[in-house]
Amino acid sequence: MLSKETTHKWKFWPVLCLAFIFAFSNPLVMIATPLYYFQQVPERILSLMTAALTITYSISPLVLNKISDRIGRRKSIIISMVGATLAQLMYFITLNPILFLIERLLEGFILGFFFPNLMATISDDPSLDQKKYLSRFNLSWSLAIVLGLLFGAFFVEIVDLKYVFYISPIFLIANAIIAFLFFQEPINRHLNPDEENPDNTEKLSKTTVKYYIPVIIPLLLILASSFASGNGMLLYPIRASILGFSESSTYLINVFATLSQSIAMYLASSLVLKKLKNFSIFAVFFYSFLFIFFTLNKVYYLFIILFLISGFFYGFLYGAASKFFLTLNVLKKTSKYSSISESSLGITFFISQLFLGFMAGINVFIAYYSLTLSLLAIFFVSLVFIRKFKEI
């Protein structure tokens, strides 16, 4: 058994920094895409460009998982940041929509080395307090999104929107440097169960091993949150452009959503599994009806209230899914569920964006009503499987 002194040599702060910097920069391009290309391409193509990153990301975590296990977390993350930087440099010369689409496809694939490995560091070491580290991890990237959106709102007010695409690689370069200089492999990653810290193992057994978690439950929650994210990433920017709201206001309104999202994610990570499974399913039900109000409203300040509520629901669903997947990692003594989590997020985001983009091409209101119906369908499917989520 390793001593506490040895275990504490592993530093978690580089993981938090990597998640923070990436989450800070990612929304800048995600929101700039529909705003910048809205007048240049049809809505269906626009949805494809918005979701392009997730097309290849939907398979890359699963494809690259075994390579990551072989070469290690550190090398995987360095490769992802260097590769993503080189991919983004492709559109420095021109912001041509086709070139941009190709770049996002390449970037999405190489990022399969990034977030799954960051998440897996939490479950790699059984001696860590999973709840505490997951809460810190979620708080780090949630706070980063808030600050990134505030930065984006300020940035597009003083310079042209297109320069958002030009500053993005700077953040990736910073992450590559942090990964190269400071990121460490989890010390207890390859320990056998008998070598784990007995205090933490006993604590873990009391909180998680009594439950059987059907994988389809967190997958359905990921599906619901992916559909819902289509509002902030695609539908609302289109609606805001139609209503004549400024570009900076679209960044700013997502700040409110992310603030409430952060609170909800922390709440989800703090709840015991029994309560979390029930609250998460019913959150899908109530969330579905919220999008009707986005079709009825035309006042910007009321949209802020709607995004505060929407962000809370989204954060709770995503936080619940993350905790379920992390628990499965610990129970099965594997990291594959982190890859499944990220791949499912990519697949469902891609499908939902294409679907909502197709509907928005007909009418943005039809897209919102389709979003409501989709979440209701997910709710009823969840009711079928939730009974299998139980103590054993």
Sign of CA dihedral 159, 161, 164, 166: negative
Overall pTM surpassing 0.85 (yes/no)? no
Q: Report pLDDT digits (tens) over 123-159.
A: 776 666 766 777 788 778 778 888 888 888 888 888 8
Q: Which one has a higher pLDDT value, 206 or 241?
A: 241
Find the angle CA(196)-CA(334)-CA(210) to the nearest 5 degrees.
Answer: 70
Residue 100 parent element (H or E)? helix 97-110
Residue 2 resides in a domain: no
Residue 333 resides in a domain: yes
Residue 4 resides in a domain: no
Residue 104 resides in a domain: yes
Residue 287: which pLDDT band, with cuts at 50, 70 and 90? very high
The structural domain count of the chain equals 1
State the amino acid at position 129 in one-letter form.
D
Bridge partner residues of 212 (DSSP)? 390
Residue 190 resides in a domain: no
Residue 173 resides in a domain: yes
Residue 6 resides in a domain: no
Residue 390 DSSP label: E
Give the pLDDT mean for 267-278.
Answer: 84
Q: Report pLDDT digits (tens) over 221-232.
A: 999 998 898 888
Residue 379 resides in a domain: yes
Tokens of 295: 């079709």
Residue 386 falls in which region: left (phi positive, over 0), alpha (psi -120 to 50) or beta: alpha
Percent of the chain topping pLDDT 70: 88
* Residue labelled with tokens 């897209």: 367
Residue ranges making up the domain that contains 74: 11-185+197-391
* Residue labelled with tokens 């929650």: 221
Query: How far apart, in whole angstroms, are the C-alpha atoms of residue 264 and residue 274?
Result: 17
Give the pLDDT mean for 250-260.
Answer: 84
Give me the CATH number covering residue 64: 1.20.1250.20
Res 335: pLDDT: 67
Length of the chain equals 392
Which range, of 84-98, 119-133, 247-261, averages the lowest pLDDT?
119-133
